[in-house]
Structure 1
Amino acid sequence: MKKQKRRFSVRIKKRGLLAPVLAVSLLSTPAMADDQAPKSDESGDVFTLGNVEVTGKGESIKNPAVEVVTSEDMLQFDTKTVSEAANLVPGVTLAKMGARNESTVYVRGFDLKHAPLFMDGIPIYVPYDGNVDLGRFFTYDLSELVISKGFASVLYGPNTMGGAINMVSKRPTKEFEGSAGTGYSSVDQYHAFANFGTNQGKWYFQGGGSWFDTNGFEMSEHYHNTTYENGGKRNNAYAQDWKVSGKLGLTPNSTDEYALSYIYQNGEKGVPPYAGDNLTNQKKKFWQWPYWRKQSLYFTSNTAIGEKSYVKTRAYYDRFKNSLLIFTNDSYSTVTPNSGNRSWYDDYTYGASIEAGTKLISNNEIKLAFLFKDDVHREDDDATGSPQKRFEERIFTIALEDTIKLTDKLSAILGVSYDFQNTVQAQDYNPIVSGGPNVLHDFDRKNNSDVNAQAALFYAYSDTGKVHAAVARKNRYPSIKDKYSYRFKTYVPNENLDPEVSNNYEIGVEDTFAKNIRVKSTLFFNDISKYILEVKNVEGTKSQLQNVGHVQRYGYELEANAAITESLEAGMNYTFMYNKNRTSDLVITDLPKHKFFAYGTYSPIKQLKLFASLEYDTRRYSSSDGVDEAGEFVVINTKASYEAIKDLVLEAGINNLLDRDYELTEGYPEAGRTYFVQARYKW
């Protein structure tokens, strides 16, 4: 098997099997050898310029706050979307924004607004609300998924209050290489992908494309019919997505690298209607997105300065457009004109960062970065006399990070950053205030600024055992939607929102027992102040978002894996989270108190691998008043992989083997028993 730089220590060396979720994820010291070696064989197909926190083999520090899911891990666990891949990691919870049919995750209880999504270190979340539908992001062209929990590097920039999720693209290492695959699953779901690349020494090119199409999914036979769902194939659950990407890189010498990348994504989807029993309190939504388009153009570079210093740059332009149709009923045939039942978003972001690092001071690697991001949101609807509204915000960040080797066994990471949020424009439409139809006026605007600071210590008490402790003060700036949205005339905007603040603490230990049993345990605590929560009846029956929340979160993560025999391995991870809202009786939604995951792989012969996994989640609240909740569930997935000829793998499996009727959000059931077949080839 080709030698690769491992991000998880879960590869069982003597067998080459993967068990990514259940072993220790370690962050290496940001050694200059790693930062300045784009042609290193150890990096495999990882686009190392896309890493913010170095995740390869380093000199001294290995940070358990960062976990990595590799492309091989994604194939092994058959995680086709970023949300599914992230769900493999302890402390990460898969969730569904049911009323929007958007897939998301929570990182130690923080949503994507507080633990944002990046592509090769570049923020790609939607400018309007800071969210992004992870169900639109597939894993076929990724080399790895890097997840930072609690102690995310200040070099990421703003809003990493709870962590960060970084999708790292591929980079070719051979003169010609590639992979391709296709598959089919129940109820006419199809997918196909292809990746290809060439490395010519002084330059390289990486390209790829993917396609996904579904008419919906089959619901569990145990589902009971409701007003807008009669079982069988889920109503209005169709989706189509396709994506193309290309990257051209120059490597003039052994240390420098310059790359230009382009990504185009296009999709459309329906939103399945509410299928629960609480129709009295649930708003009836009959929605469809006729298009969802995202384009990204970005430049990344690394330039060595002498033997111990470097400069990295990132510059990007990202555009997001979508359209929403709001129908009058579940026939999806009538959109009332001139009533606001059509909505168009046309957003774009541009920005840049420059990072300089040096090891001129012995036992220190110092990094200084400046980041700039400009977000523009433009929205339109067909309500009579409503013109297009424009919003623009800019964020500036300066960050300093020092990685220190104190002794041979003791190391530290210190980081501090200063953010400044400038609201450039925020337009409102109200004919009474603005002086007539088609006339816009401006909201009041407020600027925000804040400081982030963090520190971590790492001590190796033996050759295999390590302990760590970390503390971080992180913030999250209110989004354009938080401050200025009327939310279909049910909210009062609040231009004066302040940044949310969280003090994050964690301690952990990891070790190897009996040579091949790897165990890791982490305790964490988040003390969140100025938490943005809904305050009801601010203006009549209308609500408003305000900085009134004080939430405390306690958590525990345990993970372990082992090679039991030459042909059998198994592992597990467990996450406990308890949330206490010290402000009011409102509950924190979408987070189960307990999550348990286990897996096993068995290879009776070299060509054949049998795989099974189990996930158990306890109940989770879907409404902050505690009325609606999604119940506990157990889901079992199985798969068999057979290498018919060298590098040609055929697979078949069953997801949700027991055909459980379960939900991630109350009223929005997930797929029942699903059969699939697929094939992939690598050259």
Structure 2
Amino acid sequence: MIKNSSSFKISKISAALLLCFSVAYADQTTQPTDEIESTEQTTKSNVFTLGTVVVSASVPQSSELFESYIGKETIDLLEAKDVGEALQYTPGVFYDSPIASGNSGRFESGVTVRGYGLRYVPIYVDGIPVYIPYDGYSDMGRFSTADISSIQVAKGYSSVMYGHNTMGGAINIVTMKPRSKFDFSGVIGTGTGDVKETSINIGTLQENWYLQAGFSDRTRKYTRLADNYVGKDAEGQFVNSDKYLYNTKDRRANIKLGWTPNATDEYVLSYSKQKAKKYPGHIGHKGFIPTTWKWPKWDRETISFVSTTWLMDNKIYIKPRLYYDTYKNTLTGWRGDPKGSHYDDKAFGASVEIGTTAINNHLVKMMLSYKDETHESFDTFPNSSLHMPDSDSKATQKFYSIALEDTITFTEQWEAQLGVVYTKRKATASDIGINTQHLLNTYPSANSMLAPSYDSTDFQAALFYKPTDLDTFRFTVGKKTRFPSFKESYSNYAGGSERKCPKGQTGCKPGEFVPSITLQNPGLKPESALNIELGYNGTPIDGLTMDTALFYSQSKDAIDRSDFDYNTFPGYAFVNPLTYLEKLNAKVLS
């Protein structure tokens, strides 16, 4: 069972004193430069600025400047075809490739930001949260860079305008925007691994409106290994090959329509749809087959509206966001079982951000936000589309947030930022526990379906010093919270194996084998972290861009699995759902 750990996770969740130094590409830390790919030269950027999270009054804020930035030019130069590959060149970000993480069976690419995984670092596309409600993990390999203009990464410290769950930072993917009356780019290519790639982006920028559309299609049938693999693969076949047979197919289409009635206001309606498949090779193919798991469906569809309106001589702005997101996922071959596991997830969200510069030397912002997430799942019979009876489950959670932020400019060299965000979560679930019904029939007390409401208040503060236009020193401190995912709160199953009863147990005879059970834990509490950082970003000498940080991160009430309990429910070995928290002080590791 998932529980809150009784001690701080220090080394495991990046709670150590580290020095991160990097000599980076210039566009990782500066604003985008222009790229001319259209038939008319223009000075406009292809970055969809309305899709960024931070709204500036005029010049960029210091808090924006130390977010790592990867522009389209660098993405193309490095041949990064998905967001995971692109982020591996970002200081403080570790890229976990599908092959490296293949032992988990999921064969997904992911990233960690200063030790925090994607559950702690949410992903946004044009400021819209992209979240897998069930377990919180997004496969970074499914996010194509074909229509991306930039990627922004906030590490540790991030604006409270990002909302909740930004315990380790935030990643915002910003899509393209047309720069001229006819803006066109495209790619047709192939590569090692029987790769086939096609993408096209076309747009038009008119006086009071613009239209951007894109399409991409990419398939890969294998990955070349460094050396031949000799041995048996997941299908029991003897293999002597340097081919890693794991196939992926990704297809994405998007369209964006914008209205710009004047120089400051913008209203944009966007729609995107992506379909993906992941599956291993088949018997008879020459190569190593890593798994029998298949994902015949990894589909996402999103429609959103976002706008910015400036009022009172550009002293007040209003920025609402509305979005509806669906995610459908199918997995077959789970734990050697050919039955199908299906997810049907939905999320509706709305927020309104209001900011003002009416107070001299202050940029004050407030954001109200609401998000409703629903996770539904069911199983189908092996090698069939027939719905298995009594396999349905459903869970929902709703988030209500209010955030306040004040950016204070003392002088041209000194700036500070203060922020606070309050979030309340309400959750419900139905038909949870069906996977462990035989235990529940014997021990009804195990069927605890309470889903209490939790809330959190997070704060942060930052001080910036800019001795020159090219150099910024920063000191930041902030407390962040992450709410447990559906999987952590409601996951329950019979483990598919038996556990041998160890010595000293009262609920079973030592040496006998008892069924292993994992129970749901709706009462699981949030975990939190305190992030402190001292950093520098700038150009100490011409041609050299430097971003260095000394940071400390302390995680508290970390969510983890407990050991097996053989005594509470005699005859079963179950993972304990206790949530008792013991708070301990953590010392700095150097």
TM-score grouping bracket, smaller chain normalisation = 0.7 to 0.9
Aligned-pair CA distance for 1:493: 1.6
| Paired residues for 1:335-350 under 5 Å | 341-350=339-348
Question: Does 1:246 find its partner at 2:255?
Answer: yes
Q: Retained in 2: the 8 A contact 1:183–1:191? A: yes
The letter of the residue matching 1:405 is T
Aligned-pair CA distance for 1:182: 1.5
Partner of 1:410 in structure 2? 414
Partner of 1:157 in structure 2? 163
Which residue, out of 367, 376, 383, partners 2:365? Answer: 367
User: Which stretch shows the higher mean deviation, 372-381 or 455-464?
Assistant: 455-464
Aligned-pair CA distance for 1:239: 1.2
Call closer, same or farther: CA 1:481–1:201 in 2, change over 3 Å: same
Aligned-pair CA distance for 1:509: 2.3
User: Which stretch shows the higher mean deviation, 82-91 or 214-223?
Assistant: 214-223
Aligned partners of 2:553, 2:587: CA distance in 1, in Å? 7
Which residue, out of 120, 127, 130, partners 2:126? Answer: 120
Partner of 1:68 in structure 2? 69
The letter of the residue matching 1:248 is L
Partner of 2:479 in structure 1? 473
Aligned partners of 1:57, 1:70: CA distance in 2, in Å? 21
What is the DSSP-based 3-state SS (H/G/I as helix, E as strand, rest coil) of the residue aligned with 1:46? Answer: coil
The letter of the residue matching 1:288 is K
Q: Retained in 2: the 8 A contact 1:526–1:553? A: no
Call closer, same or farther: CA 1:117–1:224 in 2, change over 3 Å: same
Per-residue CA deviation, residues 332-353 of structure 1 (Å, 9 max, x unaligned), is: xxx65xxxx2111111100111
Per-residue CA deviation, residues 540-597 of structure 1 (Å, 9 max, x unaligned), is: 5433576669899999xxxxxxxxxxxxxxxxxxxxxx89xxxxxxxxxxxxxxxxxx
| Paired residues for 1:263-274 under 5 Å | 263-270=272-279
Partner of 2:563 in structure 1? 536
The letter of the residue matching 1:259 is V
Aligned partners of 1:106, 1:260: CA distance in 2, in Å? 32
Q: Retained in 1: the 8 A contact 2:527–2:559? A: yes
Call closer, same or farther: CA 1:233–1:549 in 2, change over 3 Å: farther
Partner of 1:46 in structure 2? 47
Aligned partners of 2:128, 2:585: CA distance in 1, in Å? 30
Q: Of the two structures, which has the highest relative contact order with CA contacts closer than 8 Å and spacing of 6 or more?
A: 2
Aligned-pair CA distance for 1:517: 2.6
Question: Does 1:204 find its partner at 2:205?
Answer: no
Q: Retained in 1: the 8 A contact 2:320–2:351? A: yes
Aligned partners of 1:379, 1:425: CA distance in 2, in Å? 12
Call closer, same or farther: CA 1:328–1:378 in 2, change over 3 Å: closer
Aligned-pair CA distance for 1:27: 7.7
Aligned-pair CA distance for 1:259: 0.6
Which residue, out of 319, 322, 335, partners 2:326? Answer: 319
Per-residue CA deviation, residues 49-104 of structure 1 (Å, 9 max, x unaligned), is: 10012589826635554111111110011111011111111000011442101111
Q: Retained in 2: the 8 A contact 1:260–1:298? A: yes
The letter of the residue matching 2:303 is L
Which residue, out of 177, 191, 205, partners 2:183? Answer: 177
Aligned partners of 2:24, 2:57: CA distance in 1, in Å? 17
Q: Retained in 2: the 8 A contact 1:511–1:520? A: yes
Partner of 2:432 in structure 1? 428
Partner of 1:560 in structure 2? none
Percent sequence identity over matched residues? 32
Aligned-pair CA distance for 1:129: 1.4
Call closer, same or farther: CA 1:152–1:538 in 2, change over 3 Å: farther
Aligned partners of 1:135, 1:532: CA distance in 2, in Å? 26
The letter of the residue matching 1:191 is E
Aligned partners of 2:491, 2:192: CA distance in 1, in Å? 39
Aligned-pair CA distance for 1:499: 0.8
Q: Retained in 1: the 8 A contact 2:482–2:527? A: yes
What is the DSSP-based 3-state SS (H/G/I as helix, E as strand, rest coil) of the residue aligned with 2:80? Answer: coil
Q: Retained in 2: the 8 A contact 1:393–1:423? A: yes
The letter of the residue matching 2:458 is N
User: Which stretch shows the higher mean deviation, 424-433 or 350-359?
Assistant: 424-433
The letter of the residue matching 1:380 is F
Aligned-pair CA distance for 1:393: 0.4
Aligned partners of 1:476, 1:193: CA distance in 2, in Å? 37
Aligned partners of 1:443, 1:402: CA distance in 2, in Å? 41
Call closer, same or farther: CA 1:551–1:174 in 2, change over 3 Å: farther
What is the DSSP-based 3-state SS (H/G/I as helix, E as strand, rest coil) of the residue aligned with 2:520? Answer: coil
Which residue, out of 376, 379, 394, partners 1:390? Answer: 394
Aligned partners of 1:309, 1:357: CA distance in 2, in Å? 6
What is the DSSP-based 3-state SS (H/G/I as helix, E as strand, rest coil) of the residue aligned with 2:246? Answer: coil
| Paired residues for 1:644-655 under 5 Å | none
Q: Retained in 2: the 8 A contact 1:533–1:549? A: no
User: TM-score of the superposition, structure 2-length normalised?
Assistant: 0.79
The letter of the residue matching 1:390 is K
Aligned-pair CA distance for 1:187: 2.8
- The gaps in structure 2 that reach 5 residues or longer are 1-21, 32-41, 283-289, 382-387, 496-516, 567-571
Q: Retained in 1: the 8 A contact 2:28–2:90? A: no
Aligned-pair CA distance for 1:462: 4.1
Aligned partners of 1:533, 1:466: CA distance in 2, in Å? 38
What is the DSSP-based 3-state SS (H/G/I as helix, E as strand, rest coil) of the residue aligned with 1:155? Answer: helix
Q: Retained in 1: the 8 A contact 2:227–2:242? A: no
Partner of 1:351 in structure 2? 349
What is the DSSP-based 3-state SS (H/G/I as helix, E as strand, rest coil) of the residue aligned with 1:187? Answer: coil
Aligned-pair CA distance for 1:429: 4.2
Call closer, same or farther: CA 1:171–1:554 in 2, change over 3 Å: farther
Aligned-pair CA distance for 1:220: 2.1
Pairwise CA RMSD of aligned residues?
Answer: 3.0
Aligned-pair CA distance for 1:464: 4.0
Aligned partners of 2:584, 2:106: CA distance in 1, in Å? 26
Per-residue CA deviation, residues 442-474 of structure 1 (Å, 9 max, x unaligned), is: 822111100010000001234544321000100
Question: Does 1:89 find its partner at 2:90?
Answer: yes
Call closer, same or farther: CA 1:138–1:426 in 2, change over 3 Å: same
The letter of the residue matching 1:324 is L
Partner of 2:451 in structure 1? 445
Call closer, same or farther: CA 1:482–1:545 in 2, change over 3 Å: farther
Aligned partners of 2:55, 2:23: CA distance in 1, in Å? 18
Aligned partners of 1:554, 1:312: CA distance in 2, in Å? 42
Q: How many residues align?
A: 504
Partner of 2:144 in structure 1? 138
- The gaps in structure 1 that reach 5 residues or longer are 1-18, 29-40, 274-283, 330-334, 556-577, 580-683
Which residue, out of 250, 256, 263, partners 2:265? Answer: 256
Question: Does 1:491 find its partner at 2:491?
Answer: no
Aligned-pair CA distance for 1:171: 1.1
Partner of 1:419 in structure 2? 423
Call closer, same or farther: CA 1:514–1:554 in 2, change over 3 Å: farther
Q: Retained in 2: the 8 A contact 1:63–1:458? A: no
Call closer, same or farther: CA 1:270–1:408 in 2, change over 3 Å: same
Q: Retained in 1: the 8 A contact 2:23–2:546? A: no
Question: Does 1:220 find its partner at 2:226?
Answer: yes
Q: Retained in 2: the 8 A contact 1:265–1:293? A: yes
The letter of the residue matching 1:83 is G
The letter of the residue matching 2:473 is V
Aligned partners of 1:206, 1:422: CA distance in 2, in Å? 38
Call closer, same or farther: CA 1:381–1:227 in 2, change over 3 Å: same
Q: Retained in 2: the 8 A contact 1:100–1:271? A: no
| Paired residues for 1:187-202 under 5 Å | 187-202=193-208
What is the DSSP-based 3-state SS (H/G/I as helix, E as strand, rest coil) of the residue aligned with 1:173? Answer: coil
Aligned partners of 1:554, 1:53: CA distance in 2, in Å? 34
Aligned-pair CA distance for 1:124: 1.0
Call closer, same or farther: CA 1:76–1:59 in 2, change over 3 Å: closer
The letter of the residue matching 1:242 is R
User: TM-score of the superposition, structure 1-length normalised?
Assistant: 0.69
What is the DSSP-based 3-state SS (H/G/I as helix, E as strand, rest coil) of the residue aligned with 2:241? Answer: coil
Call closer, same or farther: CA 1:501–1:144 in 2, change over 3 Å: same
Aligned partners of 1:20, 1:205: CA distance in 2, in Å? 37
What is the DSSP-based 3-state SS (H/G/I as helix, E as strand, rest coil) of the residue aligned with 2:85? Answer: helix
Q: Retained in 1: the 8 A contact 2:28–2:71? A: no
